[in-house]
Structure formats: structure tokens, C-alpha cells
Amino acid sequence: GRMCLTLPETLISVVGIEKVVPTWQDLEVFLQTLPRSSTAERMNPYTSMWTGTADGDGPRTFHLVLLDNGRTDALADDIGRQALRCIRCSACLNVCPVYERAGGHAYGSVYPGPIGAILTPQLRGTTSEIDASLPYASSLCGACYEVCPVAIDIPEVLVHLREKVAGQGGRGHRLERAAMKAAGWAMDRPAVMAAGERAVARTRALHPKRPPGAKAWTDSRDLPELPEEPFRDWWKKNRT
């Protein structure tokens, strides 16, 4: 990195606008927070700073390009703007079970892991298949939020972006969308929900162990046993 800064006659630095800090004192906080959250070091051994050109040493010309590229739009989102606080420490990558198994290239962006799953869709939009899928690349376990040194609530932003993707339409199989719509309708009506629970409980002996079309799911999972009566009925008899 330092060789790249000193050998060229013309140095061009491209920096995202969210990386601008007001003072050197503000930078001091990040220089302490980043290495401790990333590799548990007291100091980062490869931090380089440059303040322009100097006669006889380093580049003769220096250009600084501040890049927006969707960041202003992200800033306008009251929930999504949290992603711009990221200091690229990689703490969320270190604990994410999805990133651990999928690897960085699966995210289709220079921003992998949990932070990539919320930052990339905001910078590039969710029109492509991979960008629309990124908010779903999470189990919502919350480990990323627990370790984030700047308190980005990544699960909250993931759910927020999932809502946006779902609102675009076309997400998921048509039968899945129909099932989710029917479930939403029933769950919004307590009487209908209660009647459905009682009907399922009374006919539980007729339900197949492996529903048609669910073989791939049930090959490695067991469906839960249906109770003899719904919880709401048990609660009414025993707690009222």
C-alpha cells in the first residue's frame, strides 16, 4: 500500500463520502476501534496517511475523488442509513454463520458478509437477482449486531430490505407467495386463526408425515408433532 502511494507521479484516491470525518481527533477513535474489533490488536500496523504532495518526495500531483454512488439515497433511508456507519472492521464477518459457509464471492460484491447484505442492495438497488437475494442471506441470529463496534442493527436493516424486495413483487415461487398471503389473511383474523388451529388438531391423524412437494425439506428434517389441542384452548382451560 505504501509503495502504491509513493511511486506514482500522479496519485488518485477514490473515497466514499461516508468515510469523511471532521477532525484528526475523530480519526483517532476509529484507529483504536477498528483493529480491536477486527483482529483484537491494540494498533493497526498498516495505516498510511498522506496530506498532498511534497517536492522531491512521492507523487507530483494528487487528486481526491469523493464517491456518492448511491450513498446519498441510503442516507435518506431512516433505517438503512445505519450501514454507512460501517468502519470495515470485519467483526460481523468473523461471527456470521452464513458467511462462514458461503464465502465472500457468493455475495457478488466487494462488500461481503452481513454488512454487504445490507450495503450492496442500497448502493446498487434490488433490481438484479443477486442484489434482491442478499437481504435473505441471513438467519437473523443477531450475532453481527452484538459484535458491531458502531452498533449497526444489521438484522433490523435486513428485515427492512426484505420488506422492500417483497414489495417489488415477483419474489419467491407463486405457490409460496399464495401461501404467505393466505397465512397473513388468517393471522390477521383471530377467530379464523383459532378455528383453523382446532380443525388441524382434530384431524392430526390424517396429516401425512411428508407432505407432497416437501420431500427435499423433510429428507433432513422432521415435521413437528401436532398437539391434541391448540395452545390457546389449553391456556383457557388451565389458566383462567
**57: part of which helix (H) or strand (E)?**
none
The pTM (predicted TM-score) of the whole model is 0.70
Q: What number is the average pLDDT over the span 148-174?
A: 86
Instruction: Using the predicted structure, report yes or no on whether residue 55 has a pLDDT greater than 70.
Output: yes
Separation CA 75–CA 158 (nearest Å): 16
Please report the pLDDT score of residue 3 as a whole number: 84
Instruction: Using the predicted structure, report yes or no on whether residue 144 has a pLDDT greater than 80.
Output: yes
Instruction: Using the predicted structure, report yes or no on whether residue 42 has a pLDDT greater than 90.
Output: no
Confidence of residue 173 (pLDDT cuts 50, 70, 90): low
Q: What number is the average pLDDT over the span 206-235?
A: 79
Q: Which domains does the chain have, with CATH numbers?
A: 1-67 (no CATH), 70-171 (1.10.1060.10), 174-238 (no CATH)
Query: Distances from the Cα of 109 to the Cαs of 24, 97, 159, 206, in angstroms?
Result: 31, 19, 20, 48
Please report the pLDDT score of residue 240 as a whole number: 63
- Strand ranges (E), the chain: 10-16, 61-67
Query: Among 19-23, 39-43, 81-85, 119-123, whose mean pLDDT is lowest?
Result: 39-43
Radius of gyration of the chain (CA): 25
Instruction: Using the predicted structure, report yes or no on whether residue 170 has a pLDDT greater than 70.
Output: no
C-alpha 41 chain-centroid distance: 26
Please report the pLDDT score of residue 172 as a whole number: 56
- pLDDT tens track for 94-122: 999 999 988 999 999 999 999 999 999 99
DSSP 211: -
